Amino acid sequence: MWSLTGYDWSAKSPEFILDKLAPGLNSRRGEIALLHDGGHLGFGADRAHTVEATRRLLEANPGRRFISVSELSREAGLPT
């Protein structure tokens, strides 16, 4: 399960998403951030704010390691 959410399904800007994630990203422990690649009301929703927030998040945290849920499962020895 995730420990952070960007509430990107209702975001009006990339800043909104980053503001929601920021408090948890300052933690020293590993976090699982929930971001969506589709809309909750159907396919084809605009994800431009999520894409831009993700780009900024990656660029602003060069020392952090970001992995997918699939990779996390493999590293934990769970079936994928």
The per-residue pLDDT string of the chain (80 residues; one tens digit each, 9 = 90 and over) reads: 788 999 998 889 999 999 999 888 877 677 889 988 766 666 677 889 999 999 999 999 888 888 888 898 898 888 86
- For the stretch 45-58, what's the b/e string if a residue is b when 16 or more beta carbons lie within 10 angstroms of its beta carbon? eebebbebbbeebe
- Assigned domain for 80 exists: no
| pLDDT for res 40 | 64
- Assigned domain for 56 exists: yes
- Assigned domain for 67 exists: yes
| pLDDT for res 80 | 66
Cα–Cα distance measured from residue 34 to residue 7, given in angstroms and rounded to the nearest whole number: 8
- Assigned domain for 55 exists: yes
- Assigned domain for 14 exists: yes
| pLDDT for res 79 | 81
Task: Give the DSSP letter string of 5-41.
Answer: E--GGG-SSHHHHHHHHHHHHTSSS---EE--SSBTT
Domain encompassing residue 61? 4-75
- Assigned domain for 17 exists: yes
What's the structural domain count of the chain? 1
Cα–Cα distance measured from residue 50 to residue 63, given in angstroms and rounded to the nearest whole number: 21
